[in-house]
A = this chain, B = another copy of it.
C-alpha cells in the first residue's frame, strides 16, 4: 500500500550522480524537511525551456499542494495539460556556512528535498478547501482557524495543484569542514557559521483594532 513504507523507493532521477552518501529516502525525514519550510521552488517546462518560480506549498499526508491565480501560467498549463504538468518541486534549508582552510572545500550545511512528478489541478471542492487550509497552516500553524475562510468567489479565482510524494529524495550535509591533511596547519579560521531563519516582532496593521491580542501561534513562531 503506498504511503506505508518507511522510505521512498529510489529511482534513476532521485539517485544523485555524486555525493550519494548525502542522499536519503526516509519518509519521516522528508516530511520533517518539507514541514520546516513553506516556500518551494517549482520547476516546469514551457516551450521547451525550464521555468523556476518560488511559491508557497502545503502538505497533507503524501500530497503536496501549491496554489495560485487561475490565470497564472503553471496553473493554466496544468489545467490544459492531460495528464497533468510534469514538475520538479524543491525545498532547501541552509543550516550553516562551512569555512574550510582551502577554497575548494568550502561548503554549506543544508537540508533539501526534491520531488519529481506530475501536478494535477484539484477539482474536488473539499480537497481544495483542505489544501488551502494546509497552505495557510504550513506558514503559520493554527492560522487557518483564525481567519475568514475563502468564499465562493475566492475559491473560484484560486487554482490548486496536487503533487503526490512518490519520487522523492532528501539531501543533507552536516558537520564541519573536510580539509586536506596537508592543509591542517594553514593559518585560516576554519569552522561553521550557523544559519537560521529568524522571525521579528509581529507588526500589527495600521488599521487593526489594537485591542486584538497577539495570538499564541504567532508568539510560538
Contacts and interface: CB of A to CB of B under 8 A. Distances in A.
Contacts of A187: 209, 212
Given A41-B90, A150-B102, A215 B189 contact: yes
A189 B145 CA distance: 12
Nearest to A76: B17
For the side of the interface on A, what is the size category? 35 or more
22 contacts: A13-B49, A17-B71, A17-B72, A39-B110, A41-B43, A52-B90, A97-B199, A99-B143, A102-B148, A103-B147, A103-B150, A106-B143, A106-B147, A146-B188, A148-B188, A176-B203, A184-B207, A189-B208, A192-B205, A194-B200, A194-B203, A196-B198
A143 B188 CA distance: 10
A6 interface: no
A14 B140 CA distance: 31
B194 A218 contact: no
A63 interface: no
Contacts of A208: 189-191
A78 interface: no
Nearest to A192: B203
Interface string A38-54: 01011111101111111
Contact of A39 (B108, B158, B176, B200): B108
A112 B151 CA distance: 30
A138 to B, nearest CB: 11
A92 to B, nearest CB: 4
Interface string A116-151: 100000000000000011001001100110111111
A56 interface: yes
Contacts of A2: none
